[in-house]
């Protein structure tokens, strides 16, 4: 499956999910990137984040690629947070709905990729 097909499927999934589930949250266009599982930049995560940070091959030993995606809230959600430590109700709801969407998306992508005789694991 090539990058443009993955991106198209991601955008389509998010739009359909919003319509099907009548989510309160509205999202902007998802962001997606693909990298080689052997990219040396992954090693820098052990220095920047934690020495115990897992690398792609730690999670899936035969990994060749890593697909990362981000589903951004509409701008009004981010602006709804005021000063202080607590998130706005709108942001909290968007956070919960986005994580639910991401989890369903991860499972569906794995099923689709597996059906195409590729190997994948859900590591969310």
Rounded CA separation 95/93 (Å): 5
The answer to the question of residue 15 being in a domain is yes
Look at residue 53 in the predicted model and tell me its pLDDT. Answer: 93
The answer to the question of residue 23 being in a domain is yes
Rounded CA separation 6/102 (Å): 15
The answer to the question of residue 58 being in a domain is yes
Look at residue 77 in the predicted model and tell me its pLDDT. Answer: 92
Number of folded domains that form the chain: 1
Look at residue 118 in the predicted model and tell me its pLDDT. Answer: 47
Rounded CA separation 101/51 (Å): 30
Q: Provide the strand spans (E) within the chain.
A: 31-36, 65-70
The answer to the question of residue 121 being in a domain is no
Q: Tell me the pLDDT of the chain (124 aa) as tens digits.
A: 577 888 888 888 888 888 888 888 889 998 988 899 999 999 999 999 999 999 999 988 888 888 888 889 999 998 898 888 899 999 999 999 998 888 887 767 765 665 553 444 544 4
The answer to the question of residue 120 being in a domain is no
The answer to the question of residue 123 being in a domain is no
The answer to the question of residue 122 being in a domain is no
pTM for the model stands at 0.73
Look at residue 47 in the predicted model and tell me its pLDDT. Answer: 93
Q: Which domain holds residue 26?
A: 3-115
Look at residue 113 in the predicted model and tell me its pLDDT. Answer: 61
The answer to the question of residue 100 being in a domain is yes
Rounded CA separation 1/4 (Å): 9
């Amino acid at each position: 499956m090539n990058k443009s097909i993955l991106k198209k499927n991601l955008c389509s999934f998010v739009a359909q999910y919003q319509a099907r589930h009548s989510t309160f949250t509205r999202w902007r266009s998802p962001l997606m990137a693909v990298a080689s599982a052997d990219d040396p930049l992954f090693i820098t995560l052990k220095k920047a984040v934690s020495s115990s940070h897992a690398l792609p091959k730690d999670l899936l030993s035969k990994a060749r690629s890593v697909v990362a995606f981000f589903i951004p809230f509409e701008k009004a959600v981010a602006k709804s947070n005021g000063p202080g430590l607590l998130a706005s109700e709108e942001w909290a709801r968007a956070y919960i709905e986005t994580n639910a969407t991401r989890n369903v998306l991860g499972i569906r992508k794995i099923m689709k990729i597996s059906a195409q005789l590729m190997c994948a694991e859900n590591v969310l």
